[in-house]
Amino acid sequence: MTTELPSTPPAVRRIPSVRTQHGDTVTDEYAWLADRDNPETIAHLEAENAWTDHATAHLVPLQNTIFEEIKRRTQETDLSVPSRKGGFWYYTRTVEGSQYAIHCRVPVRAGETDPPVTDDGAPLTGEQVLLDGNALAEGKDFFALGTFDVSPDGRFLAYSVDFAGDERFTLKVKDLETGEVLPDEVPDTSYGTAWSADAGTLFYLTVDDAWRPHRVWRHTVGEPAAQDVIVYEEPDERFWVSVHLSRSEKFIIIDVHSKMTSEVRVVDAQAPTAEPAVIAERRQGVEYSVEHHGHRFLILHNDGAEDFALAYTSVDNPGDWVELIGHEPGTRLEGVDAFSRHIVVSLRRDGLTGLRVIADGSTDSYDMKFPEPLYSVGLAANPEYDVKTVRISYTSMVTPDSVYDVDLVTQAMTLRKRRPVLGGYDPLEYEQFREWAVADDGTRVPISIVARKGTPRNGTAPLLLYGYGSYESSIDPYFSIARLSLLDRGVVFAIAHIRGGGELGRRWYEDGRLLAKKNTFTDFVACARVLVRNSWTAADRLVARGASAGGLLVGAVANLAPEAFAGIVAQVPFVDPLNTILDPSLPLTVTEWEEWGNPLESADVYAYMKSYSPYENVAALRYPAILAVSSLNDTRVLYHEPTKWIARLREVAPGGSYLLKTEMGAGHGGPSGRYDAWKEEAFVTAWTLDVMGLS
């Protein structure tokens, strides 16, 4: 029996709802779609999915082909490079046909210094399976792991699971010696845990009604959760709380942070019931983080240092900060990791990431060197404190994800693994480039580009332009197996490193948020236009893609410059930002006011957000083809934002091609299993190729 697909897009009831703020009255006919408990809402989402199935039915063979391409290029049975912690090597492996990773360990053999490996991804000799995601997910439509934290003595595993996609996890404890899952179970927890030194106490987080992690709890292993004690509670709704154990395993670190301000507390891991000690009282606009290093705490901060500086203070009596690395405008210090004899600083300069090594007791330092003009590098898993080598991850637009061990003294790099790309992938058959666009105010905006060699530079090649541009998050050059299905069909792929991200330092972020947010959108349009002007592509074969805040980006540029694009892919898109940020009862809203502004209190912020909100500014324009992808259980960008946006596009600008696909059992990240994720990527890629005329 087959289900008959619809021949027209679903109709949407229009129920006027009035919003009045700062003397401005707005009617929202689709506000009712925010009620997910209304059967009519679910019926509408299902009708939209049916219409999308109908409208893309001709692409099913191409979707299947692309899915098989991704699958064929991926080594499905594979093993991560094991990381040493204590007396074990820890790793994950995947098995062909299975959706999720298996978490394992093997004992370190006498005299063993290099991680054990297998060429075929088979289990290592002596393997102990700690957690099998496939077994946990059996019978579930969704599965995500929140925390995975082995106690310092290697005996217990704290882990948490989410079967809905709403990022509310159930915390459990497993005895790795007996294999028993203990009765210690706590519902509605958030990411992050920390063990005491003796593994008898576990610290964890819970969230408030707005999904904000706000409480740190102390749990005694083996005791009922009802006896757990609140260690710290943050009442200010702008602030999030996180908790972790320092690499040295000496301190539990409680980090309290908003978008602009930080405060850190520490608890001696050997005295878990002690009162948390404040490193430095919060001051509005001052951000800092803490890393333990011997007799001192390292402090990465922006106090009088826009791009951050590194200092230290005494462990015994935290107070004044002594400078270790002074502020250097244009070199953004992003993180510090302490090891027994070295410090590694993560930084970015000239739009590229980097790593700087400082020997303990010395001011001498060196920056690691890499051969490619475009790349991304960062520290990988380094759970051990007393080491002379560190593990780093490296990738570029043409180099698959690579893992190196670096000798901190000799600087020698040992390649431990490069992600296999099956089917004869040759990086020399592809090229990466850096272009620059000039924004409306004269700012130069970098663009990273990759294409297969021989792709014409005469304006005939299709191009996919990706962007984000919010929260100081950088979209650095990266490799993608799925992207090869585009490149090998003659598509150019580009990343627009627009303001609002962090690619060029803190100022780059500041110039793309609050009342400067429109720079994010005009930067992206400038990137699109320079790519056309320099003959990389033409507007009728250029597709824009963005997710979450990047969905806001592509939704805004659809209103701003619809003629510049042939298509728009908006995934879990934040396209109704004003209505969301006006409602403090919604998840995450209050914490977002320092990113977007508070339109409840400020008429200027209200007017500014209204002027760029994609939903508020839909007009009778000739829009590019639009595909919106959403998730019903998303707690970060609620499903109704793209649902309302598509409805208004059809109402105000009829005649365009507007599709909505809602995952009915997933969260912000989409489908949780790797094969399901590949199928969604194949769907989006096939739609993109169709808009480009390549289907």
| Under 8 Å between Cβ of 666 and 49 | no
Tokens of 348: 């970015």
Running DSSP on this structure, what letter comes out for residue 421? B
Q: What six digits make up the tokens of 636? A: 């970060």
Task: For tokens 């610290």, name the residue.
Answer: 203
Q: Report whether 541 contacts 461 (CB < 8 A).
A: yes
The angle at the Cα of 186, spanning 180 to 187, to the nearest 5 degrees, equals 125
Number of C-beta neighbours around residue 273 at 10 A: 12
The residues assigned a catalytic role are 548, 634, 668
Instruction: Give the CA distances from residue 197 to residues 89, 153, 157, 417, in Å, rounded to whole numbers and listed in that order.
Output: 20, 8, 14, 33
Tokens of 164: 């809905």
Diameter over CA atoms, the chain: 75
Task: Write down how long the chain is.
Answer: 695
CA angle 518, 536, 427 (to 5 degrees): 110
Helices 518-533 & 603-612 angle (0-180, nearest 10): 30
Tokens, residue 400: 């698959």
Structure tokens at 344: 């590694």
Any idea of the CA torsion for 579, 584, 585, 587, to the nearest 10 degrees? 80
Dihedral sign, Cα of residue 629, residue 630, residue 636, residue 641: positive
CA–CA dist 662, 573 (Å, integer): 12
Please check whether residue 98 is in contact with residue 674, taking contact to mean a CB–CB distance below 8 angstroms. Answer: no
What distance in Å separates the CA atoms of residue 190 and residue 687, rounded to the nearest whole number?
A: 35
* Cα 5 off chain centre by: 35
Distance between CA atoms of residues 44 and 52, nearest Å: 12
Nearest one of 275, 227, 269 to 244, comparing CA atoms: 269
Q: How many Å apart are CA 240 and CA 611, to the nearest integer?
A: 29
**Chain centroid to CA 140: how far?**
24
Give the 3-state secondary structure of 278-337. ECCCCCCCCCEEEEEECCEEEEEECCCCCCCEEEEEECCCCCCCEEEECCCCCEEEEEEE
The pair of structure tokens assigned to 570 is 């908006």
Specify the pairing of strand 567-571 against strand 542-547. parallel
Using DSSP's 3-state secondary structure scheme, residue 506 falls into helix
Task: Name residue 662's beta-bridge partners.
Answer: 630
Answer positive or negative: Cα dihedral of 191, 196, 197, 198. Answer: negative
**Residue 121: other Cβ atoms inside 10 A:** 17
How many Cβ atoms sit within 10 Å of the Cβ of residue 236? 14
Give whole-number Cα distances, 308 to 224, 286, 302, 525, 627, in Å: 43, 10, 4, 30, 39
Taking a C-beta distance cutoff of 8 angstroms, is the pair 374, 497 a contact? no
H helices then E strands: how many in the chain?
A: 12, 38
Nearest 5°: CA angle at 568, between 59 and 445? 135
Contacts of 565 (CB under 8 A, 6+ apart): 528, 539, 542, 543, 544, 557, 558, 624
Burial 555-584 (b: 16+ CB within 10 A, else e): bbbbbbbbebbbbbbbbbbbbbbbbbbbee
